[in-house]
Structure 1
Amino acid sequence: MRQPRDTLKNPQQELRIFRLRSLLAVVVVLTLSGLLAGRLFYLQIVEHEVYSTRSEKNRVRVEPLPPTRGLIYDRNGELLAENRPTYNLTLVRERVDDLGETLALLVDLLDLPAERVEAFRERSRQRQRPYQPALLMSDLDEAQIARLAVNRHRLPGVEVEAQLLRYYPDAEAMSHVLGYVGRINSEELEDVDAGNYAGTHFIGKTGVERFYEDTLHGEAGLRKVETNARGRVLRELGHSDPVPGENLTLTLDKGLQHLAVDLLDGRRGAIVAIAPQTGEILAMASVPGFDTNQFVTGIDVDSYRALQQDIDLPLFNRAIRGSYPAGSVIKPFMAITGLRDGAVTPGEVIYDPGYYQLPNDSRRYRNWLRWGHGRVDLERALEVSNNTYFYSLAHELGIDSIHASLKQFGFGQRVAADVYGQGAGLLPSRDWKRSRFDQPWYPGETLSVGIGQGYLQITPLQLASATAVLANHGDWVKPRLVGDMGDEPVSIDLADTPPDIELEHPEWWDSVISGMEQVLSGNEGTARRAGAGLEYRMAGKSGTAQVFSLGQDQRYDAEELQERLRDHALFTAFAPVEDPEIAVAVIIENAGGGSSHAAEPARAMTDYWLLERDHGEVPPQAAVDDTQRSEEEE
């Protein structure tokens, strides 16, 4: 069978196919070439500025220059907060190839103990703005710096920076009033000016450091540098200098502050001293305190937990936030209220049988002296701290008048101009009780407020401030901590200063102050032992604040009570009477009677300020006379 013959080739058809394929290839090549040319045009012409800038940023880098934090001095030029040179370890995450590997290497090089490793890693994870260095560790020692320098080629994005670190020479004595700086956390980073805090790792956390953060911080500068491909600086192209923070000169006296701490002698309590005519806070001590230097570089977990769990609450600022029953220190202010409102006159006499009874009420509100003081006028009522007199006065006034008057002295309010975190205490009223407990106000509660008990709560700062107003015969000067910012003095005439307290008869001030003077110098004065040998005229008032209430027929016996259920001791005073230079408030928790435990420290404070400070001598703590409660007010 014959095979079919192959078909002859068709040259015309093959030529058409070849031309079609060639045309298609040309179109594809031209299209691709057009796209490439267009892309090159876009990159080189249209986006020239963008990519030129990016290229320049790879070569030129702008670095922030953090400002030097302002120093803090006391009124005599003694340094209270300084800046010491140190070396910090920082990391820029965007420049690190493998963060986990880099951190593991750093932990090995720095020879960190196991308990610090997690905190070290946590700091690296804290949110920062792009290309902003995160502070990993402060205060590197020489060995650590040397190991990091040798291994620098293995640690891109990691730098050792020389910086000034905050240091407090009198850390524990000044812990609550100065406060401290610490590392900026992510929440604070959102609130501050990003440009001004670029390169800054610390911010004021509490106290003066927190309140005056803007003043102390200063303004950041900038440095433009040229770098190589590895990010190493080759040369500086230009810079603008940072503006250092302002120095602060406080009104505090370092010697008086240390004396206040020594007088408390480890007992829980607070002492506040104010210059009445200027409002300058001369001392503001809260005991126990703590070492603020631990917080600057970051306190370890165990140490912080120990402070938090300490039953004595060393982190709590008793001087400005501690709320205490006023006890009998409220009586001078009650006396002014009674005179101003016409409820009593200086010479008016009542008879004290040892108790007071409300009309149609069988309950007896007892005086601390159970058999009474007999005939009592205003001055003697203050001298012997007679409760019956002030029960009667409180009933005559009523809670509305008492609330309005005590508010004028600053109770129930934040009184100081520049004290961060101060509390308002509690000044009760009808409306307050209705809002808090949905109950009416009862007459017996008015009597309790009249002798500083019941719902009334005051802070040591409020008590010192109110005593300063009393010493000034009603003239208000707002308490403050800062005397000078840089070279400029701070004005004492503040816009929000409360109005002065005016009496119809100005001599009534003298009547109340005379009664307070008899507290220390009178034959029956509750603090006559503390007033022995006075070389100047001093007016004061003792107080004993109950921590828990006694029943009608119960007697107080400190020996039978747990230490933390015993009475608080209070004393407030100013001197000299004719030209007051210092007002002092002392509160010692669970110490017992105010005249036997708080009056001596107040006397020592005024002695130092009026007699001994010019000689640079701090008087030893006076021995406390352990008298019986029979000579103390309730």
Structure 2
Amino acid sequence: MLRTPARRTPRKTPAKKRQPTPPMTRGNMQVRVVTLAFLVALVFVVLGGRLWYLQILTGETLSLSARATHTKEVKIPAQRGVIYDRDGEVLASNVPGMNVTVIPDMISREKLRELARILEADVESVMERYDAAMDPQTGNRYGAMLVKENADKDDVTYIMERTEEFPGVAVNDDWVRRYPHGSLAAHVLGYTGAITPEELEREPFKGLPNDSVVGKSGVELVYEKALQGEPGVKRYNVDALGRVVTVRNADGTRADGRPEVAPELLPPDSKEDPVPGKNLVLTLDLELQRVAERELEAAIARARQEGHSGEGGAVVAMDPRNGEILALASRPAFDPQLFVGGISGPEEAETFEYLNSELANSPFTNRAIAGAYPGASTFKVFTGLAGFFFGVIDANTTVTDNGGCWRPAGASGCWLSWRQTYGTGSTHGTQNYAQAIMDSNDKFFYQVADWIWQRTDDPNALPNFYKRFGFGSLTGIDLPGETPGRVPTKEWFESYQKEVYGYLERPWGIGDWVNLAIGQGDLLVSPIQMAQAYAAVYNNGTLVTPHVGKAIRDQDGELVRKIDPKPEGRIEFDPEARRELLEGLSMVTGPDGTAAPAFEDSELRILGKSGTGERGNKDPVNWFAGWAAGHEDRPLVVVVMVEGGGHSEVTAAPAVRRILEAYYGVKTGPTAVEQAAGSYAGSAPSD
């Protein structure tokens, strides 16, 4: 039988007594007080440091920022300086217009592209400026950026009705450029346009705002600092929403019950007046410029009527005493008004596309200073002077052309005269220097080069003599894009061969000098260089610096600066050499001269030299350089170059005659040459 064990009654554990909290001791109290004091002190140190940073270190910056937040600035445009001709005729001025700007930071790229399209601005150019402005390193995302200059009124109205769609946009009354004579003197004046990011990085544009309109070419660029005015500013105190600061109701309306108006419609709180640009007076004679361009076009037309390409040309008419340019023309040309406001609309875009095509033949190139061509027979003048300088010829030295091949001493080859190559096949006979100039006798100048070569050990003696007249270097004219041309030397020739062939194909020799002697070979000269050199012949050795700027004046007409560059140098002439040269130049236009048909009826006695330069497979380049005798009180050296012409006495020479006749007030009918070509331009006297 199983027995159930007896249950045990569990013992009750006595409950623990709650220990009383020990009383706060003096030491504990001190620890707590010190800790609290430390924390409070730490808070005050942080606050004090922050206040010191805000008020001392960045106080000025934050103050300016705060003021900018509550100050609205509106630009007051400054007029660009006016450009005048020498007699006060306006060549470039300003008219009121509207420019649209935008703050890049306030508008998205997509919205800006849409805005540019609406305004018919150059979208790619606008986006390029936007990207540059948004560059975190070099950009100015908070400054106004030009979107469209001279915007259309209807387009502006459309934009201003949708300001919420295009944040940051502003329309400013401004001045826009006006060229009242169209393409006349376009290559001298140049044109203006919106500043580019690249231009902002270099002189003379550094420091200008993003919405500036600046000179891009011609004197607009060269005299940018003088022409560019300083805009003023009107400042308005506004609230954070751009409204007039005044007492307002809870709903934002004015407490005085007046209607809300734009701050710009009220007097500004402060104002800085704009400073207009200075005016530029040019050396150009507007009427003579018209004649020069008209005669150049007629010369090109005659070249085409002869069956030649007549690609273009240039005219330089210069005072040989001081280098002042009275007319400078280049063809083909362009109308600088095309660029005012940027290329916009299908018609302007089509015109711009054509001007940049091969068919247009580089109308933006100023052929008067940037064109480089063989100097041709116009260059023979300087070879003859070299003969006198090196003592190998004098006034009585003659060379006989019997119609056969001419070759340098000890050399092979066959050099013929132009009479045998292109003319009737007749010979020049026996001629001295003056007669050789009159008849453009190649063989005379071949021989001069050969005689100099035999007398010197310097392979660059003849090229260096040409350089004394400014060939092969910049003339220093105050227009951008000038070419130095080229006078080949032994060093240049060897370097060129190695660059082209990788080795020295042949040595520099007498054959190169012979080609140089008649303005051919590797020689390249510009019309402005030819004018400078012929001016030195006229003025007996002063190498003047050509220039188109005459004076800078302020808005009251007061002279700020006279533009009168010093001559580049001085050339000493053998009196006998110059006397013989002037005789030869006089005979060129006489009854037996090469240019006789172009001058036979003129009342003026014109001295000059023609030239027809070979250009490989292209049509030749025509030259004529000369002046009218007996006008020492008002001298004028004129150079005409026709690119792709036939014979210079048909193209360039009549143009020189007409320009000189117009300048001196001589009226005559068309020459036989012009009658045959049917291209008499009918130049009117300029004064």
Q: TM-score range by the shorter chain?
A: 0.7 to 0.9
What TM-score, normalized to structure 1? Answer: 0.85
Tell me which moved more, 169-178 or 447-456: 169-178
> For 1:478, which of 545, 548, 552 is the aligned residue?
545
Answer whether contact 2:113 2:127 (CA < 8 A) is retained: no
Answer whether contact 1:539 1:575 (CA < 8 A) is retained: yes
**Aligned residue runs from structure 1 range 73-92, under 5 A:** 73-92=84-103
Per-residue Cα deviation, 1:201-229 (whole angstroms, up to 9, x for no partner): 12222111111111111345455442321
Residue 443 of structure 2 corresponds to which residue in structure 1?
A: 388
Answer whether contact 1:584 1:602 (CA < 8 A) is retained: yes
Residue 565 of structure 1 corresponds to which residue in structure 2?
A: 618
**Aligned residue runs from structure 1 range 185-334, under 5 A:** 185-192=196-203, 197-198=208-209, 200-231=211-242, 234=263, 236-265=268-297, 267=310, 268-299=312-343, 303-311=351-359, 312-334=361-383
Q: CA deviation at 1:453?
A: 0.6
Q: Distance in 2 between matches of 1:620 and 1:181?
A: 41
Q: 1:116 to 1:323 in 2, by over 3 A?
A: closer
Answer whether contact 1:423 1:459 (CA < 8 A) is retained: yes
Q: State the identity %.
A: 31
Q: Distance in 2 between matches of 1:4 and 1:181?
A: 109
Per-residue Cα deviation, 1:444-479 (whole angstroms, up to 9, x for no partner): 111111111101111011111111111112223211
Q: CA deviation at 1:592?
A: 1.1
Q: 1:11 to 1:119 in 2, by over 3 A?
A: farther
Residue 417 of structure 2 corresponds to which residue in structure 1?
A: 367
Q: Distance in 2 between matches of 1:376 and 1:490?
A: 51
What TM-score, normalized to structure 2? Answer: 0.79
Q: Distance in 2 between matches of 1:538 and 1:269?
A: 22
Q: 1:53 to 1:406 in 2, by over 3 A?
A: closer
Tell me which moved more, 574-583 or 247-256: 574-583
What secondary structure is seen at the aligned counterpart in 2 of 1:236? coil
Tell me which moved more, 510-519 or 307-316: 307-316
Structure 2 gaps of 5+ residues are 1-8, 134-138, 245-262, 301-309, 421-425, 454-458, 498-503, 679-687
Name the aligned partner's letter for residue 625 of structure 2: T
Per-residue Cα deviation, 1:230-264 (whole angstroms, up to 9, x for no partner): 24574634343333221111111222222222223
**Aligned residue runs from structure 1 range 431-446, under 5 A:** 431-437=491-497, 438=504, 440-446=507-513
Q: Distance in 1 between matches of 2:613 and 2:630?
A: 26
Answer whether contact 1:252 1:281 (CA < 8 A) is retained: yes
> For 1:502, which of 567, 572, 585 is the aligned residue?
572
**Aligned residue runs from structure 1 range 98-113, under 5 A:** 99-100=108-109, 102-103=111-112, 106=115, 111=118
Answer whether contact 1:482 1:490 (CA < 8 A) is retained: no
Tell me which moved more, 63-72 or 242-251: 63-72
Matched, 1:144 2:212: no
Residue 647 of structure 2 corresponds to which residue in structure 1?
A: 593
Q: Distance in 2 between matches of 1:41 and 1:134?
A: 41
Residue 529 of structure 1 corresponds to which residue in structure 2?
A: 597
> For 1:55, which of 59, 66, 69 is the aligned residue?
66
Per-residue Cα deviation, 1:396-433 (whole angstroms, up to 9, x for no partner): 12363322322121111111342222111111122322
Q: How many residues align?
A: 598
Name the aligned partner's letter for residue 336 of structure 1: L
Residue 520 of structure 1 corresponds to which residue in structure 2?
A: 589
> For 2:614, which of 534, 540, 546 is the aligned residue?
546
Name the aligned partner's letter for residue 536 of structure 1: L
**Aligned residue runs from structure 1 range 311-460, under 5 A:** 311=359, 312-354=361-403, 355-370=405-420, 371-398=426-453, 400-437=460-497, 438=504, 440-460=507-527
Q: 1:463 to 1:88 in 2, by over 3 A?
A: same
Residue 186 of structure 2 corresponds to which residue in structure 1?
A: 175
Residue 258 of structure 2 corresponds to which residue in structure 1?
A: none
Answer whether contact 2:597 2:671 (CA < 8 A) is retained: no
Q: Distance in 1 between matches of 2:671 and 2:677?
A: 18
Name the aligned partner's letter for residue 538 of structure 1: I
Q: Distance in 2 between matches of 1:624 and 1:440?
A: 49
Residue 536 of structure 2 corresponds to which residue in structure 1?
A: 469
What secondary structure is seen at the aligned counterpart in 1 of 2:95? strand
Per-residue Cα deviation, 1:320-353 (whole angstroms, up to 9, x for no partner): 1111011100112222222232221122222111
Q: CA deviation at 1:116?
A: 5.6
Name the aligned partner's letter for residue 315 of structure 1: F
Answer whether contact 1:573 1:585 (CA < 8 A) is retained: yes
Q: CA deviation at 1:119?
A: 5.0
Name the aligned partner's letter for residue 674 of structure 2: A
Larger radius of gyration: 2
Q: CA deviation at 1:86?
A: 1.2
Name the aligned partner's letter for residue 528 of structure 2: L
Residue 12 of structure 1 corresponds to which residue in structure 2?
A: 20
Structure 1 gaps of 5+ residues are 549-563, 628-634
> For 1:124, which of 101, 124, 130 is the aligned residue?
130
Q: 1:534 to 1:211 in 2, by over 3 A?
A: same
Name the Cα RMSD after superposition.
3.5
What secondary structure is seen at the aligned counterpart in 2 of 1:12? coil
Residue 630 of structure 1 corresponds to which residue in structure 2?
A: none
Per-residue Cα deviation, 1:553-599 (whole angstroms, up to 9, x for no partner): xxxxxxxxxxx722211111112356261111111111111122211
